[in-house]
Amino acid sequence: MVLRLTLEYDGNNYSGWQLQPRHDSIQGRIEAALERIFAAPVRVFGSGRTDAGVHARGQVASISIPRPFDPAELQRALNSILPNDIVILDISIAPDGFDPRRAARARVYEYRVLNRKIASAFEYRYSWLVRDQLDLDAMNRAARIFVGEHDFAAFRSLGTDVTTTVRRVILSEWSRDADVLLYRVEANSFLRHMVRAMVAAMVDVGRGKLTPEKLATILEGLDRHAAPANAPPGGLYLVEVRY
């Protein structure tokens, strides 16, 4: 019996989604909770990794359970064992062989920038504080450059092996809610650190340190060193995986 889990987590207390020896991971916590319920090891397969400090509002994972169990009852059991910062939002029966990574048509991420002079006691782990005044129109002109199929080699993590750095961005836009600038981006899939590198470049455009035209040249140049360093992880949220 294969189940599909939708979950949210606050990434602040974890070394990321992915199970790692001697590190506290979200995957590890869920596998430990499942092992307590089934008294047998159960592997959890996610739609993709999220890094240390990155949050999720709609991560999707699959599990193959060793004996039948009512999904709603399993959800209650898991939520009562899991720490408060990991919550299973939904469990449903998945088709046999459901692979949440390969089956995903698209992923949606959001990134929160807090644009004000003074830090916030509530936002410091949930957004990136940028004190400089930002030009939202310029940032949206920059955001539109990413839409479509491009080689994102200039916006990847250099340490990662991938077969291709070409990705198709479906939506890329900024909006404002009081002093929070919210970036929403949807793509067929993402390279590691891609959103955080894109956000850092667009914030430089918002500051006037970079023009949208120069950003287009960086994208075409395929050179990671030409683009700014990553935006911090705390502002990033995996909000939806589409199937």
Interactions with its own copies, residue window 39-58 (CB under 8 A): 55
User: Which candidate in 24, 51, 151, 161 is catalytic?
Assistant: 51
Asked if 126 touches its own copies (CB under 8 A), the answer is yes
**Residue 100 C-beta: closest distance to its own copies, Å:** 19
Does 135 interact with its own copies (rule: CB under 8 A)? no
- Write the single-letter amino acid at 128: W
| Contact flag: residue 3 with its own copies (CB under 8 A) | no
Q: Does 124 bind its own copies (CB under 8 A)?
A: yes
Which residue among 3, 10, 114, 156 contacts its own copies (CB under 8 A)? Answer: 10
Evaluate whether 104 touches 4 at the Cβ level (below 8 Å).
Answer: no
* Alpha-carbon span 108 to 187, nearest angstrom: 7
Instruction: Rule CB under 8 A: say whether 122 interacts with its own copies.
Output: yes
Report the phi/psi class of residue 133: left, alpha or beta, with left for phi > 0 and alpha for psi in -120 to 50. beta
Q: Is 51 a catalytic residue?
A: yes
In the complex with its own copies, the residue whose CB is nearer, 121 or 158, is 121
Interface pattern 189-218 for its own copies (x via CB under 8 A): ------------------------------
Token digits for 242?
């589409």
Q: What residues have CB less than 8 Å from 163, skipping those under 6 apart?
A: none
| CB of 111 closer than 8 Å to CB of 199 | yes
CB distance 240 to 170 below 8 Å: no
Minimum distance from residue 193 beta carbon to its own copies (Å) = 23
If phi over 0 gives left and psi between -120 and 50 gives alpha, with beta otherwise, what is residue 51? beta
Determine the Cα–Cα distance for residues 58 and 49; give it in Å rounded to an integer: 13
Q: How far is the CB of 177 from its own copies (least distance, A)?
A: 12
Beta bridge partners of 60: 6
| Residue (64 or 79) nearer to its own copies, CB | 79
Residues taking part in catalysis = 51
Would you tell me which residues interact with its own copies (CB under 8 A)?
8-10, 55, 79, 84-89, 118-122, 124-126
